[in-house]
Amino acid sequence: MTAPSDVRFYFDLSSVESYLMAERMLDALPVVAEWQPVARERLPGPSTEAFRCASEQEIYVAELQRRAANANIQPLRWPPAWPELDSTEAMLAATYAKSIGRAVAFAQAAFRQIFAGGRDPADRDTLVIAGAACEMHPRALVQAITLSATARTLVSATQRAIAVGVHEVPAVSVGAAVFRGSGELADAAGAIEHELAASAATPPRK
């Protein structure tokens, strides 16, 4: 089923919230969204999860584990550097994956390596393992993340995301509307359903 307007899911592989949304995307939306990697550190919003104290972080982690359990997602395992994860090369790899039609498969595999397996996204082995899960050749993947063209593509995609109102990840855009955070995924689905209903009710042009 195709929505009347574009539907895009914006994510960064360093974002655990993006991971939780990614695990729900295919079931939560009535259409298939375009998965768009963006550079989180270039967005106007926070570049990492920020906590004022250890207890605040503990509460946040417990809430995420609860949400994962409720969604039948594997228990979260945290990379040693979290929440200060470096996803620079990971997002270049995701950008390359998108260019060859494997954005969804690669992102899902990489997210699971990072937040279900506790692997560092800055470790190229993490990216190679995720790439192997969706039949991406390791040499091509490693070469792609070193190319300036891949970096330019990621920067351009991030700038376009900012232009439509994406200030942080995760986010879903439905036409001109932007829904921020996993808590608004149901609202995004509702907006799509509304557009589909309106499109179905509109008589075809003669």
Cβ contacts of 10 within 8 Å, gap of 6 or more = 36, 38, 161, 166, 169, 170, 171, 172, 173
Give the CA count within 13 Å in the CB-facing half-sphere of 95. Answer: 25
Query: What pLDDT, on the 0 to 100 scale, is given for residue 2?
Result: 45
Query: What pLDDT, on the 0 to 100 scale, is given for residue 42?
Result: 95
pTM: 0.91
Structural domains for the chain: 7-201 (3.40.30.10)
Query: What pLDDT, on the 0 to 100 scale, is given for residue 79?
Result: 96
Alpha carbon of 76 to those of 73, 158, 168: distances in Å? 8, 27, 21
Tens-of-pLDDT digits for all 206 residues of the chain? 444 468 999 999 999 999 999 999 988 998 889 999 999 999 998 777 778 899 999 999 999 999 999 999 999 999 999 999 999 999 999 999 999 999 999 999 999 999 999 999 999 999 999 999 999 999 999 999 999 999 999 999 999 999 999 999 999 999 889 998 877 888 898 988 888 887 777 665 65
